Amino acid sequence: MNTIKQRKLELDNCRPEPTMDTETLTRFWDEALTGYSGKMLDIVLTPEVTPYSAMDVSKVSYRGYDDTPIHAWYIRPKSRAEEERRIPCIVTFPGYTGDKGYPERYAHWVLLGYAVLAVDVRGQGGETGNLLPMDSGVVKGWMTQGITDIHRSYYMAISIDAVRAIDTAAVLPGVDPDRIAVAGGSQGGGLSLMCGALSGKVAAIVADIPNMCRMDYGVLHSASSLSEVAGYIKRFPDQLDAVLEHLAHFDMLNLGPRIKAPVLVSAGWKDTVCMPETIYAAYNRMQAPKEMKDYPFSGHEVNEYQKRQAVQFLQSVLG
């Protein structure tokens, strides 16, 4: 057996124990989702001028966690035929510190005849702010905001924001609510998995090099967002257990079995941000129809080959 095959075997057998019991996790999320199920989305659509004649674009806002207005693009193919029928919608989330960008970033989905809801993550590089109170200090970045109070924490906010993005997509004009997919890389991949675990409206998931997987391992080893949590614990070592318990509520290692929709996951074996040991730990606990794409010589990146794999996967599920 060569080294590549040996490494694959090791990852296939990466099965750490969950860091939270299922009953406690289920009770927590049932209460949290019920609390937001009846809250108005207050969706606002504003037409946006674009130089691309093949797409119709609107700016969208909806109410996320704590009533923070979340901003997004809603993009549709521009043709009379498309206006007269409901089409699949791809909900996308950016990587950490990123934003939704310009609408043309999503042209490949529009070419397939899909609509797109491209969503900002609060407080990061886009147009969306953050109304969460700053009750205590944080280290540089966003991830440790409210990390000692789960109901005022950044992870809680972005998780509910993401679920409500799915709720928003389901009622947008022209969207087929039975054919909503989620897609993203890194932070976007983690939030895509989160939507699959928490929303029953998700029909398919593409999670490229996702974070929010085996988060305790990530705190110890990751070179990106979870290093902020490591920095917080370095400053407050007495809070280690409380912080790890907090993260367990948002860890796809624990939430993975809740996913029901078909899922495509990718992992770069040289990734020092979302290490394959974290991704496989969550993937191996998923019980939904699933497929893993391995890139033994890739780091924290999504190559063009994988982007085409995602297109073909979603075509097979959504039509």
255 burial via Cβ count (<10 Å: 0-12, 13-18, 19+): buried
Closest by alpha carbon to 197, among 163, 150, 170? Answer: 163
Cα 274 to Cα 183, 185, 278, 282: the distances in Å are 16, 10, 7, 12
Cα–Cα distance, 254 to 17 (Å, whole number) = 9
Q: Which two tokens stand for residue 156?
A: 């809680």
189 Cα distance to chain centroid: 4
Query: Which residue out of 61, 153, 159, 186 is catalytically annotated?
Result: 186
Q: Rounded to a whole number, what is the distance in angstroms from the first to the last CA of the chain?
A: 39
Asked about 159 being catalytic, the answer comes back as: no
Say if residues 194 and 182 touch (Cβ distance below 8 Å): no
Q: Which two tokens stand for residue 37?
A: 């199920």
Asked about 300 being catalytic, the answer comes back as: yes
Listed in sequence order, the residues at least 6 apart from 250 whose beta carbon sits closer than 8 Å to its beta carbon are 155, 156, 159, 194, 212, 215
Query: Which residue out of 120, 161, 216, 271 is catalytically annotated?
Result: 271
Strand 115-119, strand 69-77: pairing: antiparallel
67 Cα distance to chain centroid: 20
Asked about 186 being catalytic, the answer comes back as: yes
Count of Cβ atoms closer than 10 Å to residue 287 Cβ: 10
Active site (catalytic) residues? 186, 271, 300
